[in-house]
Structure 1
Amino acid sequence: MISSKTSTLYLSPPRADLWLAIGLRLLAATGIALLAIIVWCLLGEAWNVFVGVGASHFLTDSSWHPTEGTFGIAPMAVASIASALGAVLIASPIGVGSAVFCQYYCSPGWSSALRQLLGLFAGIPSVVFGFWGLVTLVPLIAEDNPPGASLLAGALVLAMMIVPTVALTAHAALASVPHSFVAAGHALGLRRGTIVLKVTLIAARNGIFAGIIMSLGRALGETMAMLMVSGNIVQIPSSVFDSVRSLAANIALEMAYATGTHRSALYACGIALIAVVALSTWVSERLTAGARHRA
């Protein structure tokens, strides 16, 4: 018979596990503290523009002229959202189609090689995409619709940047679909295309949508590529060929010389970007959690 003292010693965690748990808690707390400090500093720096200009004018006015004291981010917010959504609309079918091909229509060797190539593609710096877009894509668009540097150019470059993310997350979602679903489809006499479209894609839809929304968050925060190919004109676009300026590009262009309320307005642009990306991340987490729950 084991005494209560012996039982307590047996159930207590080893010292190494205890120190590991403490270390992990400290690291998690450090990450949360750093995020809180960043948000707090941004709010402190942006407070002047919210008081002096007003949050409603800052969010809805269509004029951004720091020398005249007007700070409206509506055109840049529209440009950021439009370019990101355009990139997602272009990249999603390409990425999901690539994932389906790798998972169901490709040999294991070629599938592994293609996924490694996509991983390498995802690691290319954004300035390289922007430079390619500036010297190749912008002149092509300018041949028929000058000046070429436009919302369309920005969306196309962003689409190239997020295709690997969409493809790799979609492949992971498809790979997590139970093999019994595919076997059941074959047992019913369904063709491979029917199984893919009506069984596996539906079963993996939450994971696929989560990856797409994660890609949307990356596209919203992209700076260098949009700065190089979008034209950097503050206006609400009337067509995809109009030059635009995104919120991230605006911060990069003006932070070096901004002072006073102008500087506060740029910090407020950063807060707006954080809010949008945080919302997209939250939606992605909810979709992923729903997929795990159904599984």
Structure 2
Amino acid sequence: MMHRKKKEKAIESTLLMVSGVTVVALFLLCFFLFREGYLLFGDYSIISFLTETSWYPSSSPAKFGLLPLLTGSLIVTAGAIVLSVPLGLASAIYISELADPKIAQLIKPFVEILAGIPSVVYGFFGLIVVVPLLQDLLDLPTGQTALAGSIMLGMMALPTIISVSEDAINSVPTALKEGSLALGSTKWQTIYRVVLPAALSGISAAVMLGIGRAIGETMTVMMVTGNTAIIPGIPEGLFDPVRTMTATIALEMGEVPQGSEHFHALFAVGAVLFLITFMINLIADSVKKKYRLQEGV
């Protein structure tokens, strides 16, 4: 009995230590990121950083305006969500509620394969197929636009939205569905009025995770959006080249002198990106908890 308790205590201590390492690693990451970003504001105004409309690190004086990068990221992400959420939710409904079990089992591996494809492969596909197609169809000067980035990010967010939404829909108790059908509702009425409201917490989480997946993507958007640091208009900005925050960090970090103003500016951009994704995760978690409380779970 004593030996068993010691063994359980050792396992508990090991798990606690592993959890502690994770927390410490996250803390160190945040500390390093924010410390390096904060050093920019010794000589450069934080107001200028947040409101400046130009990103010209090599000009004299250098301009580190976050606004064009933030706007580009938001436009590309918004376009991706508009494309991926309806398709992802429709696919999840079909797989979980409408498809023959054999067909559903056939589709699921393809969704998982989509999730496992490297982002650079998506980027190549976008560069070779989507970009020329958009240029020809829309008669644009270049196909490397925010729309191309939105299409590719929408494709990349689809597996996350489909998988999480499908799990949420499958978790709805069968008794609720059967009760709705027994009262005379059609299959579609049951899906719309019973299944989707009951699965709303999971679906909301799927959407927020999709947004996080899109806004944090680097390689694909770097290859298909044109990387022009300008503030695009809305909605016509979808047809203009843009540059996202992630692409800026990836393109410029390898070439800047360590400790320079430009170096710290890139860390400041990374800190803003971290805060945005952190807030997205917080919102997803709060939405999920809210609907769980409403459902009495």
Question: Given the two structures, how large is their TM-score scaled by the length of structure 2?
Answer: 0.93
| 2:72 alignment partner in structure 1 | 79
| 2:268 alignment partner in structure 1 | 268
> Where do residues 106-121 of structure 1 align in structure 2 (5 Å cutoff)?
106-121=99-114
| SS in structure 1 at match of 2:58 | helix
**One-letter amino acid matched to 1:158:** L
Q: Is the 8 A contact 2:228 2:241 kept in 1?
A: yes
| SS in structure 2 at match of 1:200 | helix
Separation of aligned partners in 2, 1:212 and 1:60? 29
**Count of residues paired in the alignment:** 286
**Cα offset, 1:13, TM superposition:** 7.1
Q: Is the 8 A contact 2:39 2:264 kept in 1?
A: yes
| SS in structure 2 at match of 1:245 | coil
Separation of aligned partners in 1, 2:289 and 2:8? 28
| 2:83 alignment partner in structure 1 | 90
| 1:3 alignment partner in structure 2 | none
Separation of aligned partners in 1, 2:185 and 2:34? 57
**Cα offset, 1:212, TM superposition:** 0.7
Q: Is the 8 A contact 1:166 1:211 kept in 2?
A: yes
Question: Given the two structures, how large is their TM-score scaled by the length of structure 1?
Answer: 0.94
Of 184, 188, 200, 1:189 maps to 184
> Where do residues 3-18 of structure 1 align in structure 2 (5 Å cutoff)?
14-18=5-9
> Where do residues 91-170 of structure 1 align in structure 2 (5 Å cutoff)?
91-143=84-136, 144-170=139-165
**Cα offset, 1:46, TM superposition:** 1.4
Separation of aligned partners in 2, 1:162 and 1:17? 41
Q: Say whether 1:198 aligns with 2:193.
A: yes
Separation of aligned partners in 2, 1:50 and 1:222? 27
Separation of aligned partners in 2, 1:107 and 1:16? 48
Backbone CA RMSD of aligned residues: 1.5
Separation of aligned partners in 1, 2:286 and 2:9? 31
Of 167, 170, 174, 2:169 maps to 174
Which 5+ residue runs of structure 1 have no aligned equivalent? 1-8
- Identical-residue share of aligned pairs (%): 32
| 2:283 alignment partner in structure 1 | 283
Of 244, 251, 254, 2:252 maps to 254
Deviations 1:23-80 (A, max 9, x none): 1111111111111111111122112212221222111211111122110111110111
**Cα offset, 1:103, TM superposition:** 1.0
Q: Is the 8 A contact 2:201 2:292 kept in 1?
A: no
Separation of aligned partners in 2, 1:180 and 1:226? 45
**One-letter amino acid matched to 2:100:** S
| 1:6 alignment partner in structure 2 | none
| 1:4 alignment partner in structure 2 | none
Of 207, 211, 217, 1:216 maps to 211
Deviations 1:181-233 (A, max 9, x none): 10111111000001001110111111101111011011111000000000000
> Where do residues 52-67 of structure 1 align in structure 2 (5 Å cutoff)?
52-67=43-58
Q: Is the 8 A contact 1:99 1:171 kept in 2?
A: yes
Separation of aligned partners in 2, 1:31 and 1:141? 44
Separation of aligned partners in 2, 1:287 and 1:148? 37
Separation of aligned partners in 1, 2:196 and 2:284? 17
Separation of aligned partners in 1, 2:229 and 2:287? 35
Q: Say whether 1:49 aligns with 2:40.
A: yes
Provide closer, same or farther for how the CA distance between residues 173 and 241 of structure 1 changes in structure 2, counting only shifts above 3 A.
same
**One-letter amino acid matched to 1:277:** T
Deviations 1:70-95 (A, max 9, x none): 10111110111111111011100111
Of 18, 30, 34, 1:27 maps to 18
**Cα offset, 1:113, TM superposition:** 2.0
Separation of aligned partners in 2, 1:112 and 1:55? 53
Separation of aligned partners in 2, 1:46 and 1:149? 30
| 1:242 alignment partner in structure 2 | 240
Where in structure 1 do 4 or more consecutive aligned residues deviate above 2 Å? 287-295
Structure (1 or 2) with the larger CA radius of gyration: 1
**One-letter amino acid matched to 1:242:** D
